[in-house]
Amino acid sequence: MKVTSAEIVISAVSQKQYPNDPLLPEIALAGRSNVGKSSFINKMINRKNLARTSSKPGKTQTLNFYKINDVFYFVDVPGYGYAKVSKKEREAWGKMLEEYFVERKNLKAAALIVDIRHDPTADDITMYNFFKHYELPVVVIATKLDKVAKNKRESHMRRTMKVLELEDGDVVIPFSSETAEGKEKAWKAIEHFINW
Ligand code: GDP
């Protein structure tokens, strides 16, 4: 997809604030904090800084709706896996996600951003299983590909699939926000789910 417009429409904390006018297909984006989620969004939409790291500790945890080309929304789910997050914050985060994933009819798929250098973490696995619980197709983006030697990439991909116990139909796409490798493939996968 050639991105000609991308704007943040709302940072929502509850259902009342989700955009409904127009009701467009949505792709949720999730990943551990610092995994490279903002860099992924920015690379996909050709912007340096639209998706700032708004999900840092201490900041309000929100679902950020980015409208792309007036065709669909990327819905940025706040990063998980902070060591220092309180039980109360974790519960609020869980409740916000639950509300969105249970109710949202126009949610078509999720992209789960993981770090290709390492095995998916327990949090990554939980998130993957969470999506599967809601019967969502998942596109796994294995980012920071530029940091893995070419002859090691295949085995890192296989580990990612194995550790997540990837279901049939779900894909892992190696990606780099530095080199833009994988960008075309990632767009193809996303376009498939929004019927573009
Ligand atoms: P977020 O917290 O998941 O939104 O992570 P960021 O997008 O802010 O990225 C965290 C750090 O990883 C930053 O220093 C980025 O420059 C770096 N980073 C993200 N993606 C890549 C990538 O594909 N390759 C490399 N080499 N660094 C990356």
Contact 48, 56 (CB under 8 A): no
E-state strands within the chain: 6-12, 26-31, 63-68, 72-76, 107-115, 138-143, 171-174
The yes-or-no verdict on residue 54 having pLDDT over 90 is: no
Query: Which pair of structure tokens corresponds to residue 32?
Result: 């551990």
Write down the pTM of the prediction: 0.94
**Cα atoms in the 13 Å half-sphere on the side-chain side of 69:** 14
User: What is the chain's mean pLDDT, rounded?
Assistant: 92
Residue to substitute in 177, 181, 183 for testing ligand 1 pocket (most ligand atoms within 8 angstroms of CB): 177
Contact 71, 5 (CB under 8 A): no
Gap from CA of 62 to ligand 1 centroid (Å)? 20
User: According to the model, what pLDDT value does residue 59 have?
Assistant: 62
In one-letter notation, the amino acid at residue 13 is: V
- Segment 14-52, tens digit of pLDDT: 999 999 988 899 999 999 989 999 999 999 999 888 887
Gap from CA of 120 to ligand 1 centroid (Å)? 16
Report all structural domains of the chain as residue ranges with CATH numbers, in order of start: 6-193 (3.40.50.300)
- Cα four-point dihedral sign 183, 26, 13, 100: negative
Gap from CA of 44 to ligand 1 centroid (Å)? 13
Gap from CA of 39 to ligand 1 centroid (Å)? 5
- Walk across the sheet containing 171-174 and list its strands: 6-12, 63-68, 72-76, 26-31, 107-115, 138-143, 171-174
Ligand 1 shell residues, CB under 6 Å? 31, 33-39, 53, 79, 143-144, 146-147, 176-178
The yes-or-no verdict on residue 136 having pLDDT over 60 is: yes
